[in-house]
Amino acid sequence: MRPVLSLRDLDVTYPNGVVGCAGVNLDVMPGEVLGLVGESGSGKSTVLNAIALTAPVTRGSARFESPKRGPLALFELNGQDRRWLRQREIGMVHQNPRMVLNLDLSAGANIAEALLVADWRHYGRIRERAQELLLRVEMDLARMDDLPRRFSGGMQQRVQLAKALANSPALLLLDEPTGGLDVSIQARLLDLIRELSRELGTAMLLVSHDLEVIRLLARRTLVMQRGRVVEAGLTDQILEDPQDPYTQLLVHSRLT
């Protein structure tokens, strides 16, 4: 089985000289949820943004198995192909849904937008697909034509998730998807993401600073510190028997 995404020797140095990450290798296998954990500033979001093609990659390669176009060298694509991929095959869920949702458009229109940029042109079918997606993320269809501005944070996050899944991406990138939410909403959203991963078989790369989130969702995990991967392996193993001193610190500083 070939990985959906294969990242080799990734270096990201920002224009101001700050090193975002260095020498990162990872593989995301079909259908798996891979966790990426570490403290703030450890470079996990940098890795995610590099894959989403929004961070300045200094060195390294990424091979993406595109369902439509076959294997692609991500970092060698031009702007138009990058956009094509982001709009169809690599989905992204941000911590803050306002990064993605247009709060002046209805929830349905926000999802419709994702379908429209992927050349859907049949109103009835767009409506149907949007309803299907909203049901998928357990939203009340009565709210479909309401503005997300009036939604709770949890509901906004569900709409964002529905939008990210609109074109059935081969890879879903999740950046602290439950970051701003209270504990009970967080738990329900995590359940939902786990279900989606199981039912849709979408490969996911999950970034979180929260070991609980990682433990619930990710079978395999990478631990990052200061831009480098310090430990990688099965999540349970890492949590039960951390080898790297930083991982040990991280695991033991968990509130229980």
Partner 1 sequence: MSYSFAFLDEQSKRCVRRALLKAVALPGYQVPFVSRELPISYGWGTGGIQTTCALLGKSDVLKVIDQGADDSVNALNIKRFFAKTAGIRTTTLTAEASIIQTRHRIPEERLRADQILVFQVPYPEPLRRVEPRETETRRMHAEADYGRMYVALYEDIVRHGEITLPWQYPALVNGRYLLSPSPIPRFDNPKLHQADCLFLFGAGREKRVYAVPPHTDVHSLGFEDHPFRVESFAGRRCSRCGSTDTYLDEVIVDADGRRQHQCSDTAFCLRRRQDPAVPRGWGHDHPAGVAVEARR
Q: Which residues in this chain contact partner 1 in the complex, by CB under 8 A?
A: 79-80, 83, 105-106, 108-109, 112-113, 116-119, 121-124, 126, 145
- Would you say 102 or 237 has its CB closer to partner 1? 102
Closest CB 31 distance from partner 1, rounded Å: 29
Q: Which residues contact 165 (CB under 8 A, 6 or more apart)?
A: 91, 133, 136, 137, 172, 196, 200, 202
We find the least distance from the C-beta atom of residue 199 to partner 1, in angstroms, to be 27
Distance of CA 158 to the CA centre of its chain: 13
Q: Which CB sits closer to partner 1, 13 or 106?
A: 106
Least distance to partner 1, CB of residue 149, Å: 14
| Residue among 19 and 116 whose Cβ is closer to partner 1 | 116
Nearby residues of 154 by Cβ (< 8 Å), 6 or more positions away: 181, 185, 188, 189
The tokens for 241 are 């028997």
Backbone angles phi, psi at 13, to 5 degrees: -115, 125
Q: Which is nearer to partner 1, 109 or 238 (CB)?
A: 109
How far apart are CB 111 and partner 1 at their closest, in Å?
A: 10
What is the rounded CA–CA span in Å between residue 177 and residue 156? 11
